[in-house]
Amino acid sequence: MPTNIVVIGMGYVGIPMAVLLADVDDFYVTGIQRRSQRSGWKIDWLNQGKNPYEGEEPGLDELIERVVKSGKFKVTDKYDDVRDADYILIDVQTPVDDEKIPRYASLLDVSQKIAKHMKKGVTIILESTVAPGTTDNVVQSILEENRGFKRGLDFFLVFSFERVMPGKLIEYITDFPRVIGGGCQEANDKAKFLYGKVVKKELQVTDTLTAELTKCIENAYRDVNIAFANEMALLCEDFNRNVFEIINLINYRHDRMMHFPGSGVGGHCLTKDPWLLLYGFNKYTERLNEAKIKIIPDARKINDFMPYHMIELMENVFRDSHRLVDNIKVALLGVSYKANTDDTRNTPTENIVKVLRSRYHSHNIEYIAHDPFVHERDYKLTKLTNDFNEAITNADVLMFTTNHSEYYDIDLDDLKKKVRTPIIIDGRNIFEKKLVEGKGFTYRKVGEGSKNH
């Protein structure tokens, strides 16, 4: 008997999961994607067997092409196939707003549509990250109220979070352990059957709330560690030393793994999941330890500050040279938040541009961004080019915000000839200070003092 699967949300999570499942014998997968102006083009693109993402995604191009040609994967904006689905995976975005409150519009809409169409016995798996308590208190309530179905009897509901990362979408699904948080044994068994077909590592079963907490705490842990690295970078700048040398000395111990600082934390997960964790804590607990919750919000503040610090480094150069930030061309090298991908979600570059424009709105500043992978449809803040020479020619400030591979191969002598003012602000430890300054550049780097010693 064939297994019919619906995956709702054709993004960085939904696409790789859908095509991996479609590559399994007797699995037939329908992807559902809203036909919006921003992302509706993915429907036609995927149905032609094409990968909508640029950048390095090993194995994804071939997998999409294969499952589309085999007739086992299709994408639509209709919910008709939900009626026959044995499994429904929810992979929609769950962002937070400026007040750090979850925006569940997509999740609520999808849950209501599923409730109207789902058959008895279906297994629904929420893979999107949500605040702890959301699966039981929000999604379950919607699914049960619409037609009187009961979880664990008429349908099964599981929270099993994704761990994908742009650049490693396939690998992080197949080669990472999978946490399964169902409401009953049968729900867990059904989820284990599905994931067991594509996941090579352990399938770890727990309750729903524990699974939700695991995802949020896992990402908050990483965010806190990055914040510590960023704080130490600022400290080392004041000591006039190089934090990257210090990190290498620390990590030479086999039992240490200090993170690296940079121009800011981007992406869809680390910038919001700590806030989802705190939202769930505030909403679904008695908050007996509320006064002790300090590290997570402090870490978020530090990481959000780093794009501002990039601007501070630039301003210090202008101040030291007794120049005004006026009549200049600023080249932003890297728009995606992560190297060698096209993912622009919460990119530090966005905040750099917004702050510069706010601070110097009456000054004559030309902005241009360069990225080898990002399309104009995903970046509207400034002019965008894939031509590195166009970006840097006659530039007065080169701000490296993403460590794309091609930036490590720059000919500094040629670069010096093409810029108008040789200033580099390095937010990703791409260059060595002595080498760059030896070529005649004024150089500032996150995590390294400006004076020679």
- Cite the active site residues: 215, 269
Q: State the Cα–Cα distance between residues 433 and 6, nearest whole angstrom.
A: 52
394: left (phi over 0), alpha (psi -120 to 50) or beta: left
Tokens of 431: 């260059």
Alpha-carbon distances, residue 234 vs 161, 231, 325, 423 (angstroms): 34, 5, 23, 20
Q: How many CB atoms lie within 10 A of CB 245?
A: 12
What is the DSSP secondary-structure string of 163-184?
A: ---TT-HHHHHHSS-EEEEESS
Encoded tokens for 287: 């908050």
- How far is it, in rounded angstroms, from Cα 52 to Cα 394? 34
Residue 66 to residue 11: CA distance in whole angstroms: 19
7: closest CA among 91, 131, 128, 112? Answer: 91
Long-range contacts of 434-438, Cβ-Cβ distance < 8 Å, separation of 24 or more:
436/412
Rounded distance between C-alpha atoms, residue 377 and residue 369, angstroms: 14
**Looking at residue 118, what DSSP letter applies?**
P
Q: How far apart are CA 419 and CA 343, in angstroms?
A: 28
Q: Which residues, 6+ apart, have CB-to-CB distance to 324 below 8 Å? A: 318, 363
Residue 121 in tokens: 């016995």
| C-alpha distances out from residue 229 to 12, 225, 260, Å | 27, 6, 6
Q: Count other Cβ atoms within 10 Å, centred on residue 78.
A: 9
> What are the φ and ψ backbone dihedral angles of 366, each rounded to 5 degrees?
-95, 130
